[in-house]
Amino acid sequence: MRLTVLGCSGSLPGPSSPASCYVVEAGGVRLVLDLGNGALGALQDHVGADGLGSIDAILISHLHPDHYIDLCGYYVALRYGPVHAGRRVPVWGPDHTAERLAIAFGENPDPGMSTEFDFRTYSDDAFHIGPLRVSTTRVRHPVDAYAIRIEHEGRSLVYSGDTGPAQALIDLARDADLLLCEASFRDGGDHPPDLHLTGVEAGQHARAAGARRLVVTHVPPWGDPDEAAAEARTAFDGPVEAAHAGAVWEL
């Protein structure tokens, strides 16, 4: 399983990275986790000029613009560009993803983007995309938000999405080979509850889950990803790295 970071800037695009977007490739399947502002350019660079049609599914963690808004541009490429998916591209997300996208684009939600995208809503049930098993859990954020676990041939990757401290994230990340975890806040600040994690909290979640490796992400442009990683190392004994655009991990 290969994880490629296309965008990791927290809450908005930054000068060195788009907002959230990660590509997971395994078993001949290519998934996109989140497609935040600015990420569609990096995605085209990653998959090549014709590659947008070859994405097997897009999984959206929640409906904040830094996680989903570039689906609008992807829709334009599918509808008007030389991209031929040959099918409706599956888009998994929270309730109302289809309506929110249509409204963002100024279209009537019926049919909205349903001729280009096959919208599907998370439930408690795991599902498969080709040979990849996907399970999700609701996490703690001001909007309906999910963490996502992807498994293939005994390897596992868990992505936190955006969340405050959450036992559900620990449960989902149990024994994961890699936990890709947001660390938006620095330790010691007066932070709003149920919004984001500090670097220390990301480390605590990785340790409690028994994850084998931690990658911290979603640090805003005014923050320092290396500081987030250093914080996490105070709470987690395993390898800790900071995500940056273009980084790749092989699991």
Where does 1-153 have alpha helices with state H? 39-47, 65-68, 71-80, 97-105
Stretch of 48-56, 85-93, 160-168, 172-180 contacting Zn ion, by CB under 5 A: 160-168
Closest CB to Zn ion among residues 9, 44: 9
Position among 34, 116, 162, 201 found at the interface with Zn ion (CB under 5 A): 162
**Whole-number minimum distance, CB 175 to Zn ion, in Å?**
26
**Whole-number minimum distance, CB 134 to Zn ion, in Å?**
20
Q: How far apart are CA 122 and CA 177, in angstroms?
A: 23
Residue closest to 146 by CA, chosen among 99, 104, 198, 182: 182
231 binds Zn ion (CB under 5 A): no
Closest CB to Zn ion among residues 20, 44: 20
Q: How far apart are CA 249 and CA 17, in angstroms?
A: 17
**Whole-number minimum distance, CB 248 to Zn ion, in Å?**
22
Position among 64, 138, 140, 152 found at the interface with Zn ion (CB under 5 A): 64
**107-146 mask for Zn ion (x: CB under 5 A)?**
----------------------------------------
Q: How far apart are CA 116 and CA 79, in angstroms?
A: 7
Closest CB to Zn ion among residues 55, 60: 60
**Whole-number minimum distance, CB 218 to Zn ion, in Å?**
6
66 binds Zn ion (CB under 5 A): yes
Residue with token string 């599902």: 127
Q: How far apart are CA 132 and CA 230, in angstroms?
A: 32
**Whole-number minimum distance, CB 80 to Zn ion, in Å?**
28
Q: How far apart are CA 203 and CA 130, in angstroms?
A: 32
Of 3-32, binders to Zn ion (CB under 5 A) are 11
Q: How far apart are CA 156 and CA 132, in angstroms?
A: 10
**Whole-number minimum distance, CB 221 to Zn ion, in Å?**
12
Classify residue 65 by burial, with Cβ atoms within 10 Å: 0-12, 13-18, 19+: middle
The per-residue b/e assignment along 1-31, b for 16 or more CB within 10 angstroms, e otherwise, is: bebbbbbbbbbbbbeebbbbbbbbbbeebbb
Closest CB to Zn ion among residues 25, 144: 144
Stretch of 42-50, 70-78, 119-127, 162-170 contacting Zn ion, by CB under 5 A: 162-170
**Whole-number minimum distance, CB 163 to Zn ion, in Å?**
9
Closest CB to Zn ion among residues 173, 219: 219
Q: Are 249 and 155 in contact (CB under 8 A)?
A: no
Binding site for Zn ion (CB under 5 A): 11, 64, 66, 162
